[in-house]
């Protein structure tokens, strides 16, 4: 029955004839470990295609959803491993193709009648690199966007076709949604199609010019070997090792997913490792001529290599050998030297290292936030709406000139000209304790550098308490509880009775309410309203306009108003969102992923 089926299938497909090309293929010089590179390239290419097709089933190529879809893939069972296979097999493909090209060059396997094998193989080199380049920005990361922008500008600076090539690549003046559409088409459709057709033609030419057992001259039979199984076994041994390395890296390291694209994030662009030599070469040309390094020299080099089989014909055996070794050694030395030089320069670039460190911090944070859900507007909104990310940026820009924000370990922002209190843990029991301690009130890290250093607060204001030692903690707990700080909520809940007693002290018109308004006690005009002191609404209103009658009124000469015009928001220094981010950061009110059990 099996024989009948094979005959039936062969009558309709002729598959046995095709398999015969493989099974009868003969290696005149016997099997070789060096010759395994071609098979490794082919099967790594297959791995790249298969993993790409599977990833395509869950990838969404738009600026608002690309990062989220890749993050979703990372959370799927084996999703991270699959992405890692796709990522590292692309790197391995470039390395293996380079080794394969050098092997063909060393053995002069490009000679007649294999010129077209050589030419199609060489054309695959830049295509594979462009294929990899078009895939890097698809997750819509800031690194990918910056890279493609730099690469597009390099293309655009080339005479003649440069502007057209740039337009094809990014689809407009700036990198954006249409860029992802173009890159997705190039990466998922056009380039695989071109590479696939060239590869099929390349393999067909290879088999066409490989001798079979029936065609081998008698004088070459000794030492010859069949491709199957002698060479095939070697091929699979080497490919298994290469794939094992790729699988190990995919499992242990995984493919990177950097911070989502956001123009407000500072990023210093660098190309991938295989293009660093061109990036370094650009430095030796003036900016207006850097296309010579990135376009002219590579194009001339490729053309020379394409015509090498025809140039070789005019060379003697010795001259041809010297030429091939000069090409290989020259390329390896120049590529390695330029790449190492570029890496060393980057390693010693403090600004670049600081930028990478900051991006790594943001990457970790955005992954943590994404676990809580990604909003419809895209992953970049995660960091834009994250107080833990935006708070330090806003504080440094608008507050750090006067205020410090330094923790108990001395870490944080130190004011350039401290004329206002350290705002670390503002509203907490620790903060209120310092406020009610005359010595700390007048110290430099609180109000010592302000006119308030000579106010009644500096001479002590808790003498009205019946028993200071016993009642002061209640007063502190009550005032701090007004803030409803998230990191203190458990402690406030436990101290409900103490806080209730402390509230009565706050409302005592012989005590706190003699200068402050506290609920229905006291009046505004001397000290700030202590009702909901340090809460979200209190801090938002205070930062917006400290001159309001609830706070310092017309006596304010301490702090600028950042949003005093609610009916004309464009006149304000800070918008409502920025103030909210700043308030939440000062209150340490931000999302933290739940700890997972080990």
Is residue 397 domain-shared with residue 340, that is, in the same domain? no
Which token pair is 309? 């089989």
Q: Is 521 a member of any domain?
A: yes
Q: Is 81 a member of any domain?
A: no
> Which is nearest to 339 in space by CA: 286, 257, 270?
270
Is residue 554 domain-shared with residue 409, that is, in the same domain? yes
Q: Is 423 a member of any domain?
A: yes
Is residue 470 domain-shared with residue 572, that is, in the same domain? yes
For the full predicted model, state whether its pTM sits above 0.75. Answer: yes
Is residue 398 domain-shared with residue 491, that is, in the same domain? yes
**299, 322, 348 - which closes a domain:** 348
Is residue 428 domain-shared with residue 488, that is, in the same domain? yes
Q: How many domains does the chain have?
A: 2
Is residue 549 domain-shared with residue 467, that is, in the same domain? yes
Which token pair is 83? 């992405």
Cα separation, 507 vs 519, in Å, equals 8
Is residue 564 domain-shared with residue 490, that is, in the same domain? yes
Is residue 542 domain-shared with residue 412, that is, in the same domain? yes
Q: Which domain holds residue 533?
A: 387-587
Is residue 325 domain-shared with residue 396, that is, in the same domain? no
**348, 379, 413 - which closes a domain:** 348
pLDDT truncated to tens, each residue of the chain (598 aa)? 788 888 888 888 888 877 777 777 888 888 899 999 999 999 999 999 999 999 999 999 898 899 999 999 999 989 999 999 999 999 999 999 999 999 999 999 999 999 999 999 999 988 988 888 899 899 999 999 998 888 787 777 666 667 777 887 787 778 888 889 989 999 999 999 999 999 999 999 988 888 776 666 666 666 778 888 889 999 999 999 999 999 999 999 999 999 999 988 888 989 889 989 989 999 999 988 888 888 899 989 999 999 999 999 999 999 999 999 999 999 999 999 999 999 999 999 999 999 999 999 999 999 999 998 999 999 999 999 999 999 999 999 999 999 999 998 999 999 988 889 999 999 999 999 999 999 999 998 898 888 888 888 888 888 889 999 999 999 999 999 999 999 999 999 999 999 999 999 999 988 899 989 999 998 887 889 999 999 999 999 999 999 898 988 877 777 889 999 988 999 999 999 999 999 999 999 999 887 765 5
Q: Is 473 a member of any domain?
A: yes
* Angle of the 177-185 helix axis to the 142-156 helix axis, nearest 10: 80
Is residue 341 domain-shared with residue 422, that is, in the same domain? no
Cα separation, 179 vs 181, in Å, equals 5
Cα separation, 151 vs 165, in Å, equals 11
Q: Is 568 a member of any domain?
A: yes
The CA distances from residue 195 to 29, 294, 539, in Å, are 30, 22, 61
Is residue 322 domain-shared with residue 408, that is, in the same domain? no
Q: Is 327 a member of any domain?
A: yes
DSSP 369-409: HHTT---TT-THHHHHT-HHHHHHHHHHHHTTTT--EE-TT
Is residue 342 domain-shared with residue 391, that is, in the same domain? no
Which residues, 6 or more positions from 280, have their beta carbon under 8 angstroms from its beta carbon? Answer: 338, 339, 341, 342, 345
Cα separation, 252 vs 81, in Å, equals 9
Q: Is 338 a member of any domain?
A: yes
CA 577 to chain centroid: 25
Q: Is 468 a member of any domain?
A: yes
Which token pair is 317? 């055996």
Strands 225-226 and 405-406: unpaired
First-to-last alpha carbon distance for the chain, in angstroms, is 57
């Amino acid at each position: 029955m099996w024989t009948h089926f094979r005959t039936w299938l062969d009558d309709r497909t002729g598959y046995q004839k095709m398999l015969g090309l493989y099974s009868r293929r003969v290696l005149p010089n016997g099997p070789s470990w060096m010759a395994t590179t071609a098979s490794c390239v082919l099967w790594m290419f297959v791995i790249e295609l298969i993993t790409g097709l599977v990833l395509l089933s869950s990838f969404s190529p738009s600026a608002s959803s690309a990062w989220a879809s890749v993050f979703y893939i990372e959370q799927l069972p084996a999703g991270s491993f699959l992405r890692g296979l796709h990522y590292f097999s692309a790197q391995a493909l470039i390395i293996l193709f380079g080794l394969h090209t050098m092997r063909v060059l060393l053995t002069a396997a490009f000679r007649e009648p294999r010129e077209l094998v050589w030419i199609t193989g060489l054309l695959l080199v830049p295509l594979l690199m462009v294929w990899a380049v078009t895939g890097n920005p698809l997750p819509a990361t800031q690194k990918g966007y910056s890279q493609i922008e730099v690469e597009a500008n390099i293309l655009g600076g080339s005479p003649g076709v440069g502007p057209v090539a740039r337009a094809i690549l990014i689809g407009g003046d700036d990198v954006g949604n249409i860029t992802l559409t173009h890159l997705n088409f190039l990466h998922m459709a056009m380039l695989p199609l071109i590479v696939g057709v060239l590869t099929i033609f390349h393999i067909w030419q290879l088999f066409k010019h490989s001798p079979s057992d029936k065609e081998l001259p008698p004088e070459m039979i000794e030492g010859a070997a069949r491709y199957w199984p002698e060479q095939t076994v070697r091929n699979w041994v080497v490919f298994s090792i290469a794939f094992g390395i790729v699988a190990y890296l995919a499992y242990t390291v995984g493919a990177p997913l950097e911070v989502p694209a956001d123009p407000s994030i500072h990023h210093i662009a660098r190309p991938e490792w295989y293009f660093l030599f061109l990036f370094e070469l650009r430095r030796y040309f003036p900016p207006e001529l850097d296309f010579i390094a990135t376009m002219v020299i590579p194009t001339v080099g490729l053309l020379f290599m394409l015509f090498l089989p025809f140039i070789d014909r005019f060379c003697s055996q010795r001259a041809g050998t010297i030429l091939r070794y000069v090409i290989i050694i020259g390329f390896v030395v120049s590529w390695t030297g330029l790449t190492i030089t570029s890496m060393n320069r980057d390693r010693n670039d403090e600004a670049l290292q600081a930028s990478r460190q900051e991006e790594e911090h943001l990457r970790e944070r955005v992954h943590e936030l994404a676990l809580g859900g990604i909003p419809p507007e895209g992953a970049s909104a995660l960091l834009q709406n994250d107080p833990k990310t935006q708070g330090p940026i806003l504080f440094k820009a608008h507050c750090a000139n006067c205020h410090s924000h330094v923790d108990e370990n001395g870490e944080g922002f130190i004011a350039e000209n401290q004329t206002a209190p350290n705002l670390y843990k503002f509203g907490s029991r620790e903060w209120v304790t310092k406020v009610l301690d005359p010595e700390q009130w007048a110290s430099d890290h609180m109000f010592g550098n302000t006119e308030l250093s000579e106010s009644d607060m500096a001479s002590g204001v808790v003498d009205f308490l019946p028993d200071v030692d016993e009642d002061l903690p209640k007063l502190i707990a009550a005032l701090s509880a007004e803030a409803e700080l998230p990191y203190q909520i458990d402690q406030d809940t436990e101290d409900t009775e103490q806080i209730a007693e402390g509230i009565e002290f706050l409302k005592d018109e012989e005590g706190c309410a003699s200068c402050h308004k506290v609920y229905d006690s006291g009046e505004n005009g001397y000290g700030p309203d202590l009702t909901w002191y340090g809460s979200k609404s209190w801090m938002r209103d205070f930062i917006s306009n400290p001159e309001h009658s609830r706070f310092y009124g017309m006596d304010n000469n301490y702090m600028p108003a950042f949003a005093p015009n609610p009916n004309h928001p464009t006149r304000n220094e800070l918008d409502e969102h920025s103030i909210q981010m700043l308030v939440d950061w000062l209150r340490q009110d931000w999302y933290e992923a739940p700890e997972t059990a080990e």
